[in-house]
Amino acid sequence: MAETTPTLLTDITETFRNFTWTNETEEAGDGLQPGGLPPGWTWEDILYVDFLLRMRLWISFIGFVCNVMAFLIQIKLKSYRKTQFMFGLVLTVSEMFYLFAVLAETYYYYNEILIIPKVYQAIALATNLLALFAIIGVGVDRYMALCAFPFKYKIIVTVKRYAAVIVGLTAISILYGFVFTQFFASDDPVVSQRIFIVLSVLLFITTVTYIGLSFSLVRAFRSTQTG
Protein backbone atom coordinates (compact mmCIF):
# COMPACT_ATOMS: atom_id res chain seq x y z
CA MET A 1 0.00 0.00 0.00
CA ALA A 2 1.31 3.48 -0.88
CA GLU A 3 2.45 5.70 1.96
CA THR A 4 0.16 8.57 2.80
CA THR A 5 0.54 11.88 4.56
CA PRO A 6 -1.85 14.50 5.93
CA THR A 7 -2.21 17.70 3.94
CA LEU A 8 -3.87 21.07 4.37
CA LEU A 9 -7.11 19.55 3.08
CA THR A 10 -6.83 16.93 5.81
CA ASP A 11 -6.68 19.65 8.45
CA ILE A 12 -9.74 21.35 6.99
CA THR A 13 -11.62 18.04 6.90
CA GLU A 14 -10.74 17.34 10.53
CA THR A 15 -12.00 20.79 11.47
CA PHE A 16 -15.41 20.23 9.89
CA ARG A 17 -15.80 16.53 10.63
CA ASN A 18 -18.23 17.20 13.50
CA PHE A 19 -19.84 20.18 11.82
CA THR A 20 -23.63 20.25 11.38
CA TRP A 21 -25.91 22.71 9.61
CA THR A 22 -28.51 22.69 12.39
CA ASN A 23 -29.20 25.48 14.86
CA GLU A 24 -29.38 23.12 17.79
CA THR A 25 -26.89 23.53 20.62
CA GLU A 26 -24.51 20.58 20.83
CA GLU A 27 -24.08 18.65 24.05
CA ALA A 28 -21.69 20.11 26.59
CA GLY A 29 -18.13 18.95 26.33
CA ASP A 30 -18.03 18.37 22.57
CA GLY A 31 -16.04 21.59 22.04
CA LEU A 32 -18.42 23.03 19.46
CA GLN A 33 -20.28 26.31 19.50
CA PRO A 34 -24.08 26.53 19.24
CA GLY A 35 -25.12 25.49 15.76
CA GLY A 36 -22.26 23.03 15.46
CA LEU A 37 -19.63 25.64 14.56
CA PRO A 38 -16.03 24.78 15.49
CA PRO A 39 -14.49 27.01 18.18
CA GLY A 40 -13.50 30.41 16.85
CA TRP A 41 -15.35 29.95 13.54
CA THR A 42 -18.23 31.99 12.15
CA TRP A 43 -20.64 31.32 9.29
CA GLU A 44 -18.60 33.75 7.17
CA ASP A 45 -15.51 31.60 7.75
CA ILE A 46 -17.40 28.48 6.67
CA LEU A 47 -18.62 30.11 3.46
CA TYR A 48 -15.19 31.58 2.74
CA VAL A 49 -13.42 28.21 3.02
CA ASP A 50 -16.09 26.54 0.89
CA PHE A 51 -15.73 29.28 -1.72
CA LEU A 52 -11.94 28.87 -1.82
CA LEU A 53 -12.19 25.12 -2.26
CA ARG A 54 -14.75 25.42 -5.05
CA MET A 55 -12.63 28.06 -6.78
CA ARG A 56 -9.60 25.81 -6.46
CA LEU A 57 -11.55 23.00 -8.09
CA TRP A 58 -12.86 25.03 -11.03
CA ILE A 59 -9.67 26.99 -11.71
CA SER A 60 -7.62 23.79 -11.65
CA PHE A 61 -10.07 22.07 -13.99
CA ILE A 62 -10.11 24.96 -16.46
CA GLY A 63 -6.32 25.22 -16.33
CA PHE A 64 -5.94 21.49 -16.89
CA VAL A 65 -8.24 21.52 -19.93
CA CYS A 66 -6.44 24.54 -21.43
CA ASN A 67 -3.03 22.91 -20.96
CA VAL A 68 -4.27 19.69 -22.57
CA MET A 69 -5.47 21.70 -25.58
CA ALA A 70 -2.13 23.53 -25.79
CA PHE A 71 -0.29 20.21 -25.58
CA LEU A 72 -2.32 18.72 -28.43
CA ILE A 73 -1.66 21.77 -30.59
CA GLN A 74 2.07 21.67 -29.87
CA ILE A 75 2.46 18.01 -30.80
CA LYS A 76 0.20 18.20 -33.87
CA LEU A 77 1.57 21.28 -35.65
CA LYS A 78 4.96 20.80 -37.30
CA SER A 79 5.85 24.45 -36.74
CA TYR A 80 6.12 23.74 -32.99
CA ARG A 81 8.54 20.83 -33.47
CA LYS A 82 11.63 23.00 -33.20
CA THR A 83 14.22 23.57 -30.50
CA GLN A 84 12.85 26.98 -29.53
CA PHE A 85 9.53 25.40 -28.55
CA MET A 86 10.88 22.43 -26.57
CA PHE A 87 10.95 24.22 -23.22
CA GLY A 88 7.48 25.58 -23.89
CA LEU A 89 6.27 22.00 -24.32
CA VAL A 90 7.94 21.05 -21.02
CA LEU A 91 6.15 23.94 -19.31
CA THR A 92 2.80 22.79 -20.69
CA VAL A 93 3.31 19.18 -19.60
CA SER A 94 4.52 20.14 -16.11
CA GLU A 95 1.50 22.37 -15.57
CA MET A 96 -0.79 19.55 -16.73
CA PHE A 97 0.60 17.17 -14.12
CA TYR A 98 0.53 19.85 -11.40
CA LEU A 99 -3.13 20.65 -11.99
CA PHE A 100 -3.91 16.92 -12.13
CA ALA A 101 -2.39 16.54 -8.65
CA VAL A 102 -4.44 19.46 -7.35
CA LEU A 103 -7.64 18.01 -8.80
CA ALA A 104 -6.85 14.61 -7.28
CA GLU A 105 -6.34 16.13 -3.83
CA THR A 106 -9.60 18.02 -4.14
CA TYR A 107 -11.37 14.81 -5.21
CA TYR A 108 -10.08 13.01 -2.13
CA TYR A 109 -11.25 15.84 0.11
CA TYR A 110 -14.79 15.97 -1.27
CA ASN A 111 -15.08 12.23 -0.84
CA GLU A 112 -14.14 12.64 2.84
CA ILE A 113 -10.91 10.69 2.50
CA LEU A 114 -8.74 12.11 5.26
CA ILE A 115 -5.44 10.61 4.16
CA ILE A 116 -4.22 11.69 0.74
CA PRO A 117 -1.47 9.64 -0.98
CA LYS A 118 1.98 11.21 -0.90
CA VAL A 119 2.36 10.81 -4.63
CA TYR A 120 0.12 13.83 -5.34
CA GLN A 121 2.18 16.10 -3.12
CA ALA A 122 5.36 14.77 -4.75
CA ILE A 123 3.96 15.42 -8.23
CA ALA A 124 3.00 18.97 -7.25
CA LEU A 125 6.48 19.74 -5.89
CA ALA A 126 8.28 18.15 -8.84
CA THR A 127 6.19 19.84 -11.51
CA ASN A 128 6.47 23.23 -9.81
CA LEU A 129 10.25 22.98 -9.96
CA LEU A 130 10.20 21.68 -13.54
CA ALA A 131 7.94 24.57 -14.62
CA LEU A 132 10.46 27.07 -13.26
CA PHE A 133 13.27 25.23 -15.03
CA ALA A 134 11.26 25.46 -18.26
CA ILE A 135 10.71 29.21 -17.86
CA ILE A 136 14.44 29.71 -17.30
CA GLY A 137 15.12 27.50 -20.32
CA VAL A 138 12.93 29.64 -22.56
CA GLY A 139 14.82 32.77 -21.50
CA VAL A 140 18.25 31.20 -21.99
CA ASP A 141 17.23 29.82 -25.38
CA ARG A 142 16.07 33.21 -26.61
CA TYR A 143 19.24 34.84 -25.30
CA MET A 144 21.39 32.38 -27.25
CA ALA A 145 19.29 32.75 -30.40
CA LEU A 146 19.04 36.55 -30.40
CA CYS A 147 22.08 37.86 -28.52
CA ALA A 148 24.83 35.36 -27.77
CA PHE A 149 25.41 33.61 -31.11
CA PRO A 150 22.44 34.18 -33.47
CA PHE A 151 24.33 32.93 -36.55
CA LYS A 152 25.59 29.76 -34.88
CA TYR A 153 22.42 29.01 -32.93
CA LYS A 154 21.16 26.25 -35.23
CA ILE A 155 24.59 24.62 -35.24
CA ILE A 156 25.14 24.64 -31.47
CA VAL A 157 21.57 24.06 -30.32
CA THR A 158 20.19 20.71 -31.44
CA VAL A 159 17.18 18.62 -30.51
CA LYS A 160 19.38 15.93 -28.96
CA ARG A 161 21.21 18.40 -26.73
CA TYR A 162 18.01 20.02 -25.56
CA ALA A 163 16.45 16.62 -25.00
CA ALA A 164 19.40 15.64 -22.79
CA VAL A 165 19.05 18.87 -20.79
CA ILE A 166 15.31 18.35 -20.37
CA VAL A 167 15.77 14.75 -19.23
CA GLY A 168 18.32 15.90 -16.66
CA LEU A 169 16.08 18.68 -15.34
CA THR A 170 13.13 16.29 -15.17
CA ALA A 171 15.18 13.79 -13.16
CA ILE A 172 16.28 16.52 -10.74
CA SER A 173 12.69 17.72 -10.31
CA ILE A 174 11.35 14.21 -9.67
CA LEU A 175 14.12 13.50 -7.16
CA TYR A 176 13.42 16.81 -5.43
CA GLY A 177 9.68 16.18 -5.12
CA PHE A 178 9.81 12.57 -4.00
CA VAL A 179 12.73 13.00 -1.57
CA PHE A 180 10.93 15.81 0.25
CA THR A 181 7.71 13.85 0.60
CA GLN A 182 9.47 10.60 1.50
CA PHE A 183 11.69 11.87 4.32
CA PHE A 184 9.70 14.81 5.70
CA ALA A 185 6.13 15.12 6.93
CA SER A 186 3.98 17.65 5.09
CA ASP A 187 3.69 19.81 8.21
CA ASP A 188 7.44 19.72 8.94
CA PRO A 189 8.72 23.35 8.96
CA VAL A 190 11.92 22.18 7.26
CA VAL A 191 9.94 21.31 4.13
CA SER A 192 8.35 24.73 3.73
CA GLN A 193 11.65 26.48 4.46
CA ARG A 194 13.63 24.49 1.92
CA ILE A 195 10.92 24.74 -0.71
CA PHE A 196 10.83 28.50 -0.18
CA ILE A 197 14.61 28.73 -0.56
CA VAL A 198 14.68 26.61 -3.72
CA LEU A 199 11.82 28.44 -5.39
CA SER A 200 13.20 31.85 -4.37
CA VAL A 201 16.60 31.06 -5.89
CA LEU A 202 15.00 29.85 -9.11
CA LEU A 203 12.72 32.87 -9.31
CA PHE A 204 15.75 35.11 -8.82
CA ILE A 205 17.62 33.31 -11.61
CA THR A 206 14.55 33.60 -13.85
CA THR A 207 14.23 37.31 -13.18
CA VAL A 208 17.92 37.98 -13.81
CA THR A 209 17.80 35.92 -17.01
CA TYR A 210 14.91 37.85 -18.50
CA ILE A 211 16.24 41.23 -17.36
CA GLY A 212 19.58 40.40 -18.97
CA LEU A 213 17.80 39.28 -22.13
CA SER A 214 15.84 42.54 -22.26
CA PHE A 215 18.98 44.69 -21.87
CA SER A 216 20.80 42.63 -24.51
CA LEU A 217 17.95 43.06 -26.98
CA VAL A 218 17.81 46.82 -26.35
CA ARG A 219 21.57 47.11 -26.81
CA ALA A 220 21.47 45.05 -30.01
CA PHE A 221 18.61 47.18 -31.36
CA ARG A 222 20.49 50.41 -30.65
CA SER A 223 23.66 49.10 -32.27
CA THR A 224 21.75 48.26 -35.46
CA GLN A 225 20.29 51.77 -35.54
CA THR A 226 23.66 53.46 -35.09
CA GLY A 227 25.31 51.09 -37.59
The DSSP bridge partners found for residue 116 are 5
Flag whether 11 is in a domain: yes
Q: Report the number of distinct structural domains present in the chain.
A: 1
Over residues 130-155, the pLDDT tens digits come to: 998 999 899 889 888 888 888 888 88
**What's the CATH code of the domain at 155?**
1.20.1070.10
31 inside domain: no
Q: What pLDDT score was predicted for residue 221?
A: 72
Q: Band of the pLDDT at 86, cuts 50, 70, 90?
A: very high
On whether residue 25 sits in a domain, the answer given is no
Q: Domain for residue 121, yes or no?
A: yes
Nearest Cα neighbor of 57 from 116, 14, 13, 102 is 102
**Does residue 27 fall inside a structural domain?**
no
Flag whether 30 is in a domain. Answer: no
Give a yes or no: residue 24 inside a domain.
no
For residue 25, is pLDDT > 60? no
Which residue segment(s) compose the domain that 139 sits in?
Answer: 4-19+36-226
Whether 111 maps to a domain, the answer reads yes
Global pTM reads 0.72
The whole-angstrom separation of Cα 111 and Cα 33 is 25
Task: List for the chain the helix, strand, coil content (%; round to 5).
Answer: 75, 0, 20
CA distance linking residue 222 with residue 226, whole number of Å: 6
